[in-house]
Amino acid sequence: EAGLTTYGYDTEVLLPVTITASGAGALKLSANWLICANVCIPEQAEFIVALRAGPGGKSAETPLFAAALLASPRPAPWPISLRDGELQLSGNGLNADTVREAWFIPSVFDSIQASATQRLTAHDGGINLAVQTGPAYRADAPLNGVLVLQDRDGQQTALAVSVATVVDAIPLWQVLLMALAGGVILNLMPCVFPVLALKAVGLAKLGGRQRSYAFSCAAGYAGGILATFCGMGLVLLTLQQAGSAAGWGSQVQSPVFVAGMAWGLFGVGLNLSGVFQINVGGAGMGQDLCSKQGAIGSFFSGLLAVLVATPCTAPFMGVAIATALSGSATQTMAIFTAMGVGLALPYVLIACSPTVARMMPRPGAWMDVLKQALAFPMYGAAVWMLWTVSQEAGPTGVAVTAFGLVLIGMAAWLFNLPGEGWGRRVSRGLAVGALLGCAGLLMVIARAPATAAIVEAGTEAYTQARLTALRAEGRPVFVNITAAWCITCLINERVALGTDTVRAAFTARDIVYLKGDWTRQDPAITAFLKAQGRDGVPLYAYFPPGQGAVKILPQILTPGMVLDALGG
């Protein structure tokens, strides 16, 4: 049928096999094959060849095997690469006369669009052969196969090739600007809102304070962000060297990490609510943020900002992170540092502005009310983390995490009990014991079974095999790679992909909607992300009908963007 290409043998098929026999006997062969034209007819047969003992001699079929071996693919004598959708072969003797036709046959099925036209362009000293990559193609792995060249006399030469993809790299300064812009925009993503609530309290304290106060807090906050981003970069580099497919937000795929974040955010909320007070705390809410403790507290606020930001991916960050994780260690650290600068920049500029300091009212009792009110975003973030645990570790994970919240609350209450001497030591000891109990609960969460993803009506679960089959049929396919912990993904599904307009467009165009769940680590989905040049979610890829090239949509969607990608 039109749009479908398969590979097969024409006329005779020779199978060179070396067999060692100890004496006379019989060689038995059971064979199954298909005879195909417009339809395929299965055939099978049993063959027996008598083997006689004695001096070996050439059989009547020897010339056939000799000719086949001469025609077997040989290593290409010229350099070859894949650049901008073209196989580029350069060398002496290549021109329009010596190469009239050419075609490429891949070793891995679906690594190219087999039905797409392979347009040949020949020139003195080289040829270019257009190929469209398929779903199984990976930019970070060689494209292996056979390249057949045919001259003007019809003589064919088969070349065994292993083609490396050459990508025109984006200049580093452009990637750094993308990383900086992505970090700035990350401040507007829902993940960071709870920490911005903390910094709102810090800004409120600017009123009537010296400039050194603002500089101290701004420097601490920026230092915490930069230190955490650099630490993440080092961890990802180490994991990649160890062979792990780690990327942005990989830690959120662990229910242990998510449960720990839920407990930490809940503890910050209790601190803001006044259940307990620590002068130097992870929330940065000491008695006086103007002091040294305030700078250290702001440092931990910056650390917390990065940790809660990892489930989100802002515009420009996808390209920047993919470049960081595929480049040198120096590039990786430079790009992660630029993202950290972008995340810290708005608060630093506002905090260090004299105009902002003059506009802020003087500190007073109203600040305690504001601080207590801002505890509720922390509780809300903890609930969101608890819901994420439910998607990763099921009811067992939720129950254990919720019990951990009880222990955190009890520890905070015990820590703040009045008393002196032995009574105070006992209450503090019990508080520490409750926190150690949480550490034990993490082992239970780690062993909780993963929860199967729920397939919604009108969608199918993503698998590489299903995508390959649909592409072979020429069907249009929309692939949505998402995760339960990705707020950007959830918002896009609510405001764009889940709207009646977009769903009606899918139905009208007979588009198959595949949804991949990356809530927990999935090697197949990770491979698909890397094949599309991404290292995190969300990813939206539209494969048009026929063999059209894939379209990658932006990470923040509107219904109009989706409809434009679908063709109006």
Over residues 495-534, the pLDDT tens digits come to 999 999 999 999 999 999 999 998 888 888 888 887 787 7
Predicted confidence band of residue 167 (pLDDT cuts 50, 70, 90): low
Domains of the chain in start order, with CATH, are 74-165 (2.60.40), 172-446 (no CATH), 460-566 (3.40.30.10)
Buried b (16+ CB within 10 A) or exposed e, 501-515: ebeebbeeeebbbbb
Helix/strand/coil (H, E, C) string of 479-535? EEEECCCCHHHHHHHHHHHCCHHHHHHHHHCCCEEEEEECCCCCHHHHHHHHHCCCC
pTM for the whole structure: 0.57
Bridge-based pairing state of the strands 143-150 and 477-482: unpaired
The angle formed by the CA atoms of residues 255, 256 and 260, to the nearest 5 degrees, is 110
**To the nearest 5 percent, what fractions of the chain are helix, strand and coil?**
50, 15, 35
Q: Is the preceding peptide bond at 538 cis, omega within 30 degrees of 0?
A: yes
Tens digit of each residue's pLDDT (9 = 90 or more) over 92-144? 889 988 999 999 999 888 788 887 889 999 988 899 999 988 877 877 678 88
With 0-12 / 13-18 / 19 or more C-beta atoms within 10 angstroms meaning exposed / middle / buried, residue 319 is: middle
With 0-12 / 13-18 / 19 or more C-beta atoms within 10 angstroms meaning exposed / middle / buried, residue 232 is: buried
With 0-12 / 13-18 / 19 or more C-beta atoms within 10 angstroms meaning exposed / middle / buried, residue 34 is: exposed
To the nearest whole number, what is the mean pLDDT of the chain?
82
pLDDT recorded at residue 290: 32
pLDDT recorded at residue 293: 47
Beta bridge partners of 50: 26
DSSP letter (8 states) at residue 59: -
pLDDT recorded at residue 2: 43
CA-only gyration radius of the chain, Å: 31
The angle formed by the CA atoms of residues 470, 476 and 482, to the nearest 5 degrees, is 85
Q: Are 114 and 88 a contacting pair, CB within 8 Å? A: no
Residue 118 or residue 282, greater confidence: 118
Which residue bears the tokens 């000799």?
66
| Ramachandran angles phi, psi of 28, nearest 5° | -105, 135
Tens digit of each residue's pLDDT (9 = 90 or more) over 18-59? 777 777 788 888 998 888 877 788 999 998 888 777 777 788
Buried b (16+ CB within 10 A) or exposed e, 104-132: bebeeebbbbbbbebebebeeebbbbebb
Tokens of 255: 């229910």
Average pLDDT over residues 532-537: 79
d(CA 138, CA 143): 8
Per DSSP, the three-state class of 237 is helix
Contacts of 473 (CB under 8 A, 6+ apart): 3, 4
pLDDT recorded at residue 528: 85
CA-wise closest residue to 331 among 233, 245, 425:
233
Output the CA–CA distances (angstroms, integers) from residue 144 to 84, 110, 141, 526, 548, in the order listed: 17, 12, 9, 21, 22
E strand or H helix at 117: none
With 0-12 / 13-18 / 19 or more C-beta atoms within 10 angstroms meaning exposed / middle / buried, residue 395 is: exposed
d(CA 563, CA 505): 7
Q: Are 306 and 228 a contacting pair, CB within 8 Å? A: yes
Predicted confidence band of residue 405 (pLDDT cuts 50, 70, 90): very high
Task: Tell me the CA end-to-end span of the chain in Å, nearest whole number.
Answer: 28
Pick the range with the lowest mean pLDDT from 70-74, 362-366, 538-542: 362-366
pLDDT recorded at residue 516: 93
Return the top range by mean pLDDT from 86-95, 193-202, 237-246, 401-410: 401-410
Tens digit of each residue's pLDDT (9 = 90 or more) over 327-374? 778 888 999 999 999 999 988 888 887 776 666 666 667 777 877 887
Predicted confidence band of residue 279 (pLDDT cuts 50, 70, 90): very low
Predicted confidence band of residue 244 (pLDDT cuts 50, 70, 90): low
| Ramachandran angles phi, psi of 461, nearest 5° | -70, 135
DSSP letter (8 states) at residue 547: T
Average pLDDT over residues 275-287: 48
d(CA 418, CA 274): 14
pLDDT recorded at residue 455: 64
Output the CA–CA distances (angstroms, integers) from residue 458 to 252, 449, 492, 495, 514, in the order listed: 28, 27, 17, 17, 9
Q: How many CA atoms lie within 13 A of 295 on its CB side?
A: 10
Q: Are 39 and 9 a contacting pair, CB within 8 Å? A: no
Which residue bears the tokens 């014991």?
433
